[in-house]
């Protein structure tokens, strides 16, 4: 039987990054993927949606043209080209990952892998079933969309994040169930194309994982763009009548509202794909679909490690790829730095954008920190005023005693780029003083971080 040195199951950001790093460090790597290299992120998630959102921003900018003294007398757009552009981007980048596998001598086998015993896997591909022994394996099998009990995704008028990316028709109305990152980004995209969007969220605010003040600001912006928000609401039933669905939506007081919509997007979270590899045959413990790992990402089978969405929250591509690098280094006998979840940034790419890292104000208080909090409005930032983008703020939470940056929460233009600066600062445990000592270029939007930290510790300049 063929014996492989290191088998990685799953070619998404976690798996392919792990493959590259492990190969660079001298392991002989075999990567097994059942669909496309790049996984959900590259093919059906982060990347194609960023392409769609760029189109949405372009359309919104046209609508603001009079602000810039430009008169545009009517315009139209081609929905199928917009969708096709986003597919082309995914295809192009998938080719890039294929190239990287070749460049790093990673063997790629296409097929569905599952365990036969603790050191053996079978791979069912188009050429039949192959069996391999392994010295080590890494599970990077990702996650798939959760469904709702009373409605099936048909890929025509009822979608999940994946099927909607292959959708050919722009609906007149869209009901989005779930106001996490996926629900928010698609709501913004479809509303920007003139679709009547209703966003239904079970919790009491949209973007419920973000600081509550971010949720309030994003809600205002969404509502001013015509998106109907129904928070503290759950969908009780969905029925189709002709070309429209009727959704019965119940609020927290028990009142039931009926809304109608041509299309539905279910965005109520994701569930790990762990069961698909039959982990029980390899002695791998799984709890509610989440693979149990120790601090070194080792499963209960000492030969097997697990990374990315399949080991639980936060289910983010950058966390997954970072874990891929850590595990490659562990498996190659190198030292590594543990990943601190409080140092993982989170981004929502709507307009305004949202980006955050670390603790919210509530979490910092709950952890017993004595804190300084400051919310710096973009109306006070030169660059934001100059480019007519003053909608937003940067909120910092700083430990009063040591000046540690506990959390940063931003809403506004390009904050998903600016947060990387904050990530570097947090990664190196920079305190308020070291941020103030840093020279930020002027005028830039990145100064919102500097200004808010300075003001928080009583040294405001432009505020």
Q: How far apart are CB 265 and ligand NAI at their closest, in Å?
A: 10
**415 lines the binding site for ligand NAI (CB under 6 A):** no
Closest CB to ligand NAI among residues 97, 179: 179
Q: How far apart are CB 258 and ligand NAI at their closest, in Å?
A: 16
| Residues of span 381-410 touching ligand NAI by CB under 6 A | none
Closest CB to ligand NAI among residues 200, 408: 200
Q: How far apart are CB 143 and ligand NAI at their closest, in Å?
A: 7
Beta strands 128-139 and 304-306, pairing class: parallel
What are the backbone angles phi and psi of residue 161, rounded to the nearest 5°? Answer: -60, -25
Number of residues forming the site for ligand NAI (CB under 6 A): 27
| Residues of span 172-191 touching ligand NAI by CB under 6 A | 177-183, 185
Closest CB to ligand NAI among residues 259, 430: 259
Q: Could you give the angle at which helices 415-427 and 447-456 cross, rounded to 10 degrees? A: 50
Residue window 20-49: x/- pattern of binding to ligand NAI, with contact defined by CB under 6 A = -------------------------x----
**348 lines the binding site for ligand NAI (CB under 6 A):** yes
Q: How far apart are CB 145 and ligand NAI at their closest, in Å?
A: 7
Q: How far apart are CB 160 and ligand NAI at their closest, in Å?
A: 9
Closest CB to ligand NAI among residues 38, 178: 178
| Residues of span 418-447 touching ligand NAI by CB under 6 A | none
Candidate residues 7, 20, 267, 330; the one interacting with ligand NAI per rule CB under 6 A: 267
Q: How far apart are CB 166 and ligand NAI at their closest, in Å?
A: 17
Residue closest to 351 by CA, chosen among 217, 209, 198, 170: 217
Applying CB under 6 A, which part among 15-23, 70-78, 132-140, 341-349 lies near ligand NAI?
A: 341-349
Closest CB to ligand NAI among residues 123, 317: 317
| Residues of span 205-234 touching ligand NAI by CB under 6 A | 208, 234
| Residues of span 122-161 touching ligand NAI by CB under 6 A | 148
Active site residues: 442
Candidate residues 100, 109, 202, 436; the one interacting with ligand NAI per rule CB under 6 A: 202
* CA dist., res. 166 & res. 164, Å (int): 5
Closest CB to ligand NAI among residues 183, 407: 183
Task: Select the residue whose beta carbon is closest to ligand NAI and give its number.
Answer: 180
Instruction: Label each residue of the chain as H, E or C.
Output: CEEEEEEEECCCHHHHHHHHHHHHCCCCEEEEECCCCCHHHHHHCHHHHHHHHHHHHHHHHHHCHHHHCCCCCCCCCCHHHHHHHHHHHHHHHHHHHHHHHHHCCCEEEECEEEEEECCEEEEEECCEEEEEEEEEEEECCCEEECCECCECCCCCCEECCCHHHHCCCCCCEEEEECCCHHHHHHHHHHHHCCCEEEEECCCCCCCCCCCHHHHHHHHHHHHHCCCEEECCEEEEEEEEECCEEEEEEEECCCCEEEEEECEEEECCCEEECHHHHCHHHHCCCEECCEECCCCCCECCCCCEEECHHHHCCCCCHHHHHHHHHHHHHHHCCCCCCCCCHHHCCEEECCCCEEEEEECCHHHHHHCCCCEEEEEEEHHHCHHHHHCCCCCCEEEEEEECCCCEEEEEEEEECCHHHHHHHHHHHHHCCCEHHHHHCCCCCCCCCCHHHHHHHHHHCCCCCCC
Q: How far apart are CB 50 and ligand NAI at their closest, in Å?
A: 9
Closest CB to ligand NAI among residues 30, 360: 360
Q: How far apart are CB 370 and ligand NAI at their closest, in Å?
A: 30
**200 lines the binding site for ligand NAI (CB under 6 A):** yes
Closest CB to ligand NAI among residues 23, 46: 46
Site residues (CB under 6 A) for ligand NAI? Answer: 45, 148, 177-183, 185, 200-203, 208, 234-235, 267-270, 315-316, 346-349
């Amino acid at each position: 039987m063929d014996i492989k040195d290191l088998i990685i199951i799953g070619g998404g950001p976690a798996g392919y990054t792990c493959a590259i790093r492990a190969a660079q460090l001298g392991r002989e790597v075999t990567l097994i993927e059942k669909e496309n290299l790049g996984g959900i992120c590259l093919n059906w998630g982060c990347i194609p949606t960023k392409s769609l959102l760029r189109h949405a921003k372009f359309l919104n900018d046209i609508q603001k043209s009079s602000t810039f003294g430009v008169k545009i007398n009517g315009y139209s757009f081609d929905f199928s080209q917009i969708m096709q552009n986003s597919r082309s981007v995914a295809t192009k980048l998938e080719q890039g990952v294929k190239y990287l596998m070749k460049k790093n001598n990673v063997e790629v086998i296409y097929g569905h892998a599952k365990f036969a015993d603790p050191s053996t896997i079978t791979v069912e591909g188009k050429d039949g079933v192959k069996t391999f022994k392994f010295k080590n394996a890494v599970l990077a099998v990702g996650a798939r969309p959760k469904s709702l009990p009373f409605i099936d995704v048909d890929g025509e008028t009822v979608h999940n994040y994946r099927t909607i990316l292959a959708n050919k028709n722009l609906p007149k109305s869209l009901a989005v169930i779930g106001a996490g990152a996926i629900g928010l980004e698609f709501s913004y995209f479809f509303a920007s194309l003139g679709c009547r969007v209703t966003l239904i969220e079970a919790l009491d605010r949209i973007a419920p994982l973000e600081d509550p003040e971010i949720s309030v600001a994003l809600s205002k912006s969404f509502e001013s763009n015509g998106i109907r928000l129904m928070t503290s609401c759950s969908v009780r039933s969905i029925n189709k009548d002709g070309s429209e669905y009727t959704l019965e939506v119940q609020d927290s007081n028990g009142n039931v509202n009926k809304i109608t919509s041509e299309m539905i997007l279910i965005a109520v979270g994701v569930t790990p794909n762990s069961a698909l590899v039959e982990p029980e045959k390899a002695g791998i413990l799984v709890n509610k679909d989440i693979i149990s790992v120790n601090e070194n990402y080792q499963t209960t089978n000492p030969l097997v490690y697990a990374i990315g969405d399949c080991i639980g929250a936060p289910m983010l591509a950058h966390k997954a790829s970072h874990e891929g690098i850590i595990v490659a280094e562990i498996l190659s006998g190198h030292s590594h730095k543990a990943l601190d979840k409080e140092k993982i940034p989170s981004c929502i790419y709507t307009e305004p954008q949202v980006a955050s890292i670390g603790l919210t104000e509530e979490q910092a208080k709950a952890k017993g920190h004595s804190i300084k909090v400051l919310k710096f409005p973009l109306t006070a930032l030169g660059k934001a005023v100059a480019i007519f983008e003053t909608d937003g703020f940067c909120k910092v939470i700083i430990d009063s005693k040591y000046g540690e940056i506990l959390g940063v929460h931003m809403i506004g233009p390009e904050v998903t780029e600016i947060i990387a600066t904050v990530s570097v600062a947090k990664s190196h445990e920079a305190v308020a003083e070291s941020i103030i000592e840093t020279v930020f270029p002027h005028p830039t939007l990145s100064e919102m971080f500097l200004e808010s930290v300075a003001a928080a510790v009583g040294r405001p300049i432009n505020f």
